[in-house]
Chain A
Amino acid sequence: MTFVDDKVVITGVGQSAVGRKLFRSGIDLAIDAALEAIAHAGLQVEDIDGVASYPGPVQAEGGFVGATTHEVRDALGMRTNWVLSGVETPGQLGTLMDGAAAIAGGRATHVLAFRSVCESSGQAAGRAAALTSVAERARGHAEFRMPFGAASPANWIGMYAMRYMHEFGLTREQLGQVALNARRNAARNPKAIYTAPMTLDDYLSARMISYPFSLYDCDIPCDGATAVILSRRGKAPSTGRTPIAIEAAGSALYERHTWDQRVDLTTMAAHDSAAHLWQQTSLTPADVDFATLYDGFSYLTTQWIEALGFCKHGEVGPFLDNTAYYAPDGELPINTHGGQLSGGRLHGYGFLHEACVQLWREAGERQIAKDVQVAAVGVGGGPEAGCLLLRRDS
């Protein structure tokens, strides 16, 4: 049994300009991405009857919410049968999964799903100033973190990484291979932010943020939007492009949604999500041709590598030593676009976009040479996780 009974396919993708300090609004970027994706799918705006986005109109600083579902549907004058946004969802792709379920359930035929960020322009004013000028007190999960100076995901995720390194001997040199792989691959992505060659020495000598993370373990805030079109199978116009099936979708979380109470601190929600994904398909990790794995922090990629079964628990260090294995011409290419570490924090959707253009052989200079039919996409970190297994119809 596959996700949504194989009734839903991906038919198009689109992406705005991506960069630092573009000083364009998040809605403007989102419209670029949406129109490109709709045209890519061979559809008209009038054909779209469902819209989903992450995270919706939440309170957040610095360009985190580039555009909401309603802002995009209103800007394009859409008549919709179904809309959604949400932040309490399994990772940034969570509402996209619900969009697929909406199509399978008959609520929509073509769903536009998107994520827009303008965090580079939004943070130009400086975050320290924002944090120390907060007159309000810390609420929600921040109530139990901010008073102790644990202000950033770099702190919360850094502590998971420190525990894993303590348990299994993962080294900074090994962790750094995630960042070096991303930088090498970014050189072939014309939209990537950082493309200058980086050595292991560059990585190790970068200024520390929060142990074990240095500057190059942390992704780059950027401006940009990404959109994906989901269609009911058989309803998309002929574009000459083979639709991409969603073979399986992992959305599970088996423990409380916290940053410090997970029983095994050497795993994350990614492990629950990936277990859920593999329950839905007869395919196995050995069938995956390439993977795009979240790298908001380098350590998160290591968690997805393990969670999705590309190595055993505790063995991601030796996996990372074998850099040829996950290079673009290797057995399992990972983050061929440079990820968020070098490509920019498109916040999850960049990984899905890359998986689709590789499966369609539209990745240009960075196209994986071997034939690729099955992709694993893992998105999120800490208690946030969602993953997709994509299969190009043969």
Chain B
Amino acid sequence: MTTRPAYRVLPAVTAESAAFWTGGAEGELRIYRCHSCQHYFHPPVGVCFRCHSRDVAPEAVSGRATVATYTINVHPWFGDAFPTPYVIAIVELDEEPDTRLTTQLVDCPVEDVRIGMPVEVEFEHHDDVWIPVFRPVAGSVA
């Protein structure tokens, strides 16, 4: 099984990213959405890159996503603090497949990860941030 690291480099939270990194306190994955064209986007910033509306704000999404691609990382970049192997993935949100998150896949044997696999968010609480990692949707791994 994918192991959880003892150590993560934590994000420097900005005005724009605060909702993303703290939504987990209420169990919510919060992604910026444009209220003009209705599309989601990531990373968060105060304008829609598609239609240039400033009427944008973070909004809770379902937390369900699909693995667009992944890699099994083997090299110990962080020494023993972040045990290997572990799976890094780019997941596409169910609400907006073009909106993707780079994340870690947890609670899944590395050899069972597949492109197209349905996953769902869970949060790891560290200090003042809630890190959104993803796990397989129950029953999606044989």
Contact = CB atoms under 8 A, between A and B. Distances in A.
A22 interface: no
A146 interface: yes
A373 B86 CA distance: 48
Interface string A150-169: 11101110111011001000
A263 B79 CA distance: 34
B73 interface: yes
Nearest to A258: B43
Interface string B67-87: 011111111111101100010
A159 B71 contact: yes
A138 B105 CA distance: 20
Nearest to A136: B12
A138 B73 contact: no
Interface in B99-122: 99-104, 115
Contacts, number: 129
Interface residues of B, number: 42
A149 B70 contact: no
Contacts of A265: 68-69, 90
Contacts of B100: 260-261
A155 B71 CA distance: 6
B11 A211 contact: no
A209 B75 contact: yes
A77 interface: no
A328 B14 CA distance: 51
A59 interface: no
Given A144-B102, A148-B131, A155-B73, A132 B81 contact: yes
Nearest to B8: A147
Given A144-B102, A163-B115, A166-B69, A151 B78 contact: yes
A134 interface: yes
Nearest to A128: B79
Nearest to B82: A149
Given A131-B78, A163-B69, A137 B89 contact: no
B25 interface: no
Interface in B35-86: 42-43, 49, 68-79, 81-82, 86
A371 interface: no
A150 B72 contact: no
Contact of A148 (B88, B99, B129): B88
Given A159-B69, A263-B98, A256 B9 contact: no
A258 B99 CA distance: 12
Interface string B5-30: 10111111110010000000000000
A283 B42 CA distance: 39
A149 B77 contact: yes
Contacts of A260: 90, 100-102
Contacts of A144: 11, 42-43, 101-102
A210 interface: yes
B133 A148 contact: yes
A154 B75 contact: yes
B65 to A, nearest CB: 12
B131 A162 contact: no
A312 interface: no
A63 B10 CA distance: 24
A160 B100 CA distance: 13
B8 A149 contact: yes
20 contacts: A128-B78, A131-B9, A131-B78, A142-B9, A144-B11, A144-B102, A145-B102, A147-B9, A147-B10, A148-B104, A149-B5, A151-B77, A151-B78, A163-B69, A163-B115, A208-B72, A211-B71, A212-B71, A259-B102, A265-B90
Given A147-B8, A147-B129, A150-B73, 16 more contacts: A128-B79, A131-B77, A132-B7, A132-B79, A137-B9, A144-B42, A144-B101, A148-B8, A148-B104, A149-B82, A152-B75, A159-B71, A207-B74, A208-B75, A211-B73, A260-B101
Interface of A: 127-129, 131-132, 134, 136-139, 142-152, 154-156, 158-160, 162-163, 166, 207-212, 256, 258-261, 263, 265
Interface of B: 5, 7-14, 17, 42-43, 49, 68-79, 81-82, 86, 88-90, 98-104, 115, 129, 131, 133
